[in-house]
Amino acid sequence: MIKTILQAKQKQKPARQNLGISGEKVLRKQAIEVPVIEIKTQKIKNVLKEMSAALNSQDDGVALAAPQIGYSLRIFVVSGKIFAPDFARVRAAKILAEEEPSETLQKKEKIKDLVFINPKISKLSREKEWVPEGCLSVRWLYGKTLRSKKATVIAYDENGKKFTRGASGFLAQIFQHETDHLEGILFIDHAKDIKEELPAK
Asked about 178 being catalytic, the answer comes back as yes
Q: What angle do CA 6, 127, 4 make, to 5 degrees?
A: 10
- Rounded to a whole number of angstroms, the CA Rg of the chain reads 16
Shortest CB 42 distance to Zn ion, Å: 26
Q: Which lies closer to Zn ion via its Cβ, residue 133 or residue 158?
A: 133
Q: Which listed residue (178, 183, 196, 197) is catalytic?
A: 178
Contact 173, 114 (CB under 8 A): no
Shortest CB 169 distance to Zn ion, Å: 18
Instruction: Count Cβ atoms within 10 A of the Cβ of residue 133 and give its class: 0-12 exposed, 13-18 middle, 19 or more buried.
Output: buried
Edge-first strand listing for the sheet containing 141-148: 128-134, 141-148, 192-196
Partners of residue 134 on adjacent β-strands: 142
Distance CA 194, CA 187 (A): 10
Q: Which lies closer to Zn ion via its Cβ, residue 160 or residue 184?
A: 184
Stretch that binds Zn ion, among 42-50, 100-108, 127-135, 146-154 (CB under 5 A): 127-135
Q: Which lies closer to Zn ion via its Cβ, residue 132 or residue 160?
A: 132
Distance CA 39, CA 45 (A): 8
Task: Assess 75 for contact with Zn ion (CB under 5 A).
Answer: no
**Which residue has its beta carbon closest to Zn ion?**
135
Stretch that binds Zn ion, among 16-24, 45-53, 128-136, 154-162 (CB under 5 A): 128-136
Q: Which lies closer to Zn ion via its Cβ, residue 59 or residue 98?
A: 59
Shortest CB 134 distance to Zn ion, Å: 8
The DSSP bridge pattern shows strands 63-65 and 141-148 to be unpaired
Q: Which lies closer to Zn ion via its Cβ, residue 24 or residue 38?
A: 24
Task: Assess 135 for contact with Zn ion (CB under 5 A).
Answer: yes
3-state class (DSSP) for residue 92: helix
Q: How many residues bind Zn ion (CB under 5 A)?
A: 1
3-state class (DSSP) for residue 27: helix
Shortest CB 61 distance to Zn ion, Å: 9
Shortest CB 65 distance to Zn ion, Å: 7
- As annotated, the active-site residues are 178
- Kindly list the residues in this chain that would bind Zn ion in the complex (CB under 5 A): 135
